[in-house]
Structures are given as C-alpha cells and as structure tokens.
Amino acid sequence: MLSKSLYNLFLFLYSCGIRVVAIANPKARKWILGRRNIFDTINEQRSTSNEQPIWMHCASLGEFEQGRPLLEALRSQNPKVKIVLTFFSPSGYEVMKDYRGADHVFYLPMDSPVNAKKFLDPVNPSLVLWVKYEYWFYYLAEIKKRNIPVLLISGIFRKKQPFFKWYGEIWRKMLESFTHFFVQNTESQQLLSTIGFTENVSLNGDTRFDRVLEIADHFTAVPGIAEFCGNSQVIVAGSTWEEDEIELLHFVNVHKQVKFIIAPHEIDKANLKDVKEEFPDSIFYSELNNEQRTTDSGQPNVLIIDNIGMLSRLYKYATVAYVGGGYGADGVHNVLEAAVYSKPVVFGPVYEKFDEATGLINAGGAVSIDGGPVKLENILNNLLQDEAARKKMGEAAQQFVNENAGASKKIIQFIQEKRLLTS
C-alpha cells in the first residue's frame, strides 16, 4: 500500500524533525520531554484500576475545549466512570495536565503498531471519543481490532483532505475504525458519503457552542480587569499573532482614550518582549497590581496578558472584540468565546475554513477586515461611536450562539441509546 509507506515515512520524518527543532524550540522540547518514560507513567497510574474508562483524545487545547462539554456531561451523568484524556501537543497537555475532570491526563505516544498496543493494553477503554481531527492510523486500527466503539466529535471534512484523493487509501482506512461520525456541516456529511460513509454519519453541529455558553453561564470576574478598564471603552484582542498586532498598532497609538487588552497566542518570553516593545504604553497582567503602574507617558492604556486560561472571560469586558489568527495560514481563532457575551466581533480575512466564523458574519454578529490598518481603524471607530449598531451586532452574535447550541446533548443521547457505556 503506497499510502501506508508514505504515512510511515511521515512518522519517521516527524520524529526526526521534532528532535532537531527541539534544540532551539521550547515547545518542541516539551513535546520530547513529556513523552520520556511515558509508558512507565501510564502503566503505573493504570495498574491498580480494573475499570474500562472513557478515553478522549484531543490534538491540542482548542480541541479539548470542543470536547470538554461532552466529557463533563458524561462524568456528571456517570459519576463513577473513569476518564483518560490525551493530547498530542504541549499547548494542550501543559495547560490541562492538572485538569480535575479527568482521572488521568497523558501525552499520546507517537503513532506506531507497538505504541498503540502498549497504550491500549493498560488503558483498556470502553469508549473512545476522538475530537475533530488528527487521525493516527495504528491507534485507530488497534481500536478497531479490539472492537472498541469510537466516535468522532465535531468532525469537519474538506475536499482537499487526503481522504478524498487518489493517494488517500490509508486515510480512508482510518475512517473505517469509527463507529459513528458527528460532523459540523452538510459539506462534511456529503463528502463522507462520496467514499461510502452514509449510515453512520450525523449532522450534529459544533460542541464549542455548548462550551462557550457554559463558560458564560459560570462567569467569574478576572481580578484587576474592571479597575484597569474603568469607564473607558475597551477593545479586547484575543489570540493575536504578530500580523494582528501590526494591524492594531496604529489604532492603539492614536486612541489613548480607549483601553486595550491584548492576549497574544504565544506567551513565551521572547514573544512577550516583542509585544511589549510594539506597545510601549503597556503593562503586563502579572504587573497589574504592582505600585509601579505608570509608563513614560503616564497611565498605560494597553494591558498585555502574559498567561493562559483567562481569555474566554476577558471578552466579557470588551466594548468590541478582535479575534486574532485571521491574517495567518491557519486562520482565525475561536470567535464564539467573544460572541457569547453579545460582543461585536472583528477578525482578519482568513476564516473560510471555520463555519462558526462564516456563520457569525452571515448572522450579522461579526465583520472581517481585509484592507489594512486604515480599514480596521474605520470599522473600530464606527463600532465605538455607534452604540445602536454595536448593540445590534452584539445581539446578533449572542443569538447565533444560542441557536447553534445542543450538539453535546445529541451525542450523549446516541451513547445512551446505543448503550455504549454498558456493553
């Protein structure tokens, strides 16, 4: 099988490449170090447990937030069930390694026939939840061999993916391992039907709608933020990359009366230093309660968030929300975290791969900017100055979230009807 040979070559090159990159890249180094003696850790933690847990795998933090409402609902309905949570990326594992909603949190060992068996032997799940994407052939093949039900949660498929190409035999083979696909949109459903998957596919929407509603319903104030904002209008710019910060720079510099909260996507020391240099009239959140709160030009109007975990609550304080990522190849980040608080949402031009971003624009709750800092300034000025337009846009955003909630309940109903936790 040519595609299997190519897949094995990819695994080999990835393993070699990340070891080279790890020499200079802290994130890659965590990827390596986190997997040292991983099977000893797994065996030690699982050796005294006879229960067959639910295993949820997430590529990274974003996928975990997508699967989280389902996982917590399952735990709520089945308090005695054990949960194993795995991540491929350090950005997921390092943030959630102490997550109390799971009994065990591990890095997923690199895909191979040996590793798949060594992982599944001690974990021995009764049900596997695979969130959105990141398909690993040997793990999925071993799951199928053991007749373990596996559900794809909030799946999304595109025509350019290898499943639908002449060389995609091994990728189509991976899909045969799934008991059921819960997909986000009709395009995904139709694409799966072209390669023979029809009976076990449900159009179910995105569980992230459930997650952001849960966060908003249980909102707790972020210390120091209300004091920083005062009575000023506030723009919260979340998950920003350098391209986003360049777009915002002029507006920030000429609108000193507006308060800005900037949460960079990467919070390593080097990037935070760069962001601080871009916005000199700024202060880090970690310094917010210090007595030295002034800059060379007086009170800072920019707050740089130098931690992970509070962005979803920060949007609550926004007059207007700007969501980053829309100028990079990977596309815009989670727009729903802002929309759920009835905030008008602004982001860059790269969003087509994200149904929630397209849907939010169509609903009138968001606007995409493609035209540089001047156009961005015009949009932000209009929203800040026109309260009625701002309110209308925010209400449309909130309504869009409410109307698309409920995907988690449908999956739980399926699990109950099929008795996947009692077989």
Per-residue pLDDT at 1: 62
3-class secondary structure, 247: helix
Q: What is the mean pLDDT of the chain?
A: 93
Please write down the HEC assignment for all residues of 4-39.
HHHHHHHHHHHHHHHHHHCCCCHHHHHHHHCCCCHH
DSSP single-letter state for residue 295: B
CA–CA distance, 178 with 151 (Å, rounded to integer)? 6
- Token pair belonging to 194: 């072209």
Per-residue pLDDT at 149: 97
How many helices (H) and strands (E) would you count in the chain?
Answer: 19, 14
Per-residue pLDDT at 298: 62
DSSP single-letter state for residue 403: H
What percentage of the chain has pLDDT greater than the value 90?
Answer: 85
Kindly report, residue by residue over 35-85, the tens digit of the pLDDT.
999 999 999 988 666 788 999 999 999 899 999 999 999 999 988 899 999
CA–CA distance, 172 with 164 (Å, rounded to integer)? 8
Per-residue pLDDT at 422: 64
Using alpha carbons, select from 340, 358, 342 the residue that is nearest to residue 350. Answer: 358
Per-residue pLDDT at 51: 80
CA–CA distance, 30 with 351 (Å, rounded to integer)? 30
Per-residue pLDDT at 133: 86
Q: Say which CATH class 222-403 falls into.
A: alpha beta
Per-residue pLDDT at 387: 96
Q: What are phi and psi of 240, to 5 degrees?
A: -85, 150
Kindly report, residue by residue over 93-145, the tens digit of the pLDDT.
999 999 999 999 999 999 999 999 999 999 999 999 999 989 999 999 999 99
CB 355 within 8 A of CB 404: no
- What integer is the mean pLDDT of 333-349? 97
- What integer is the mean pLDDT of 289-298? 52
pTM > 0.95: no
CB 285 within 8 A of CB 303: yes
Q: Which of 117-131, 182-196, 225-239, 293-307 has the lowest mean pLDDT?
A: 293-307
Per-residue pLDDT at 295: 46
CA–CA distance, 340 with 212 (Å, rounded to integer)? 6
> Which strands form 234-240's sheet, in the order they lie side by side?
282-284, 302-304, 259-264, 234-240, 320-323, 345-347, 366-368
Model confidence at 169: pLDDT above 50:
yes
Q: What are phi and psi of 301, to 5 degrees?
A: -110, 5
Kindly report, residue by residue over 2-24, the tens digit of the pLDDT.
678 889 999 999 999 999 999 98
Hey, how many other C-beta atoms are within 10 angstroms of the C-beta on 322?
Answer: 31
Question: Domain-by-domain residue ranges, the chain?
Answer: 2-207+406-417, 222-403
Angle at 259 between CA 255 and CA 263, to 5 degrees: 115
Pairing of strands 127-131, 150-155: parallel
DSSP single-letter state for residue 136: -
Higher pLDDT pick, 390 / 294: 390
CB 112 within 8 A of CB 135: no
CA–CA distance, 295 with 300 (Å, rounded to integer)? 6
CB 237 within 8 A of CB 248: yes
Tell me if domain 2-207+406-417 and domain 222-403 are identical in fold.
yes
Q: Given 3.30.2130.10, 3.30.1330.40, 3.40.50.11720, 3.90.400.10, which CATH number is that of 2-207+406-417?
A: 3.40.50.11720
CA–CA distance, 304 with 284 (Å, rounded to integer)? 5
Model confidence at 296: pLDDT above 90:
no
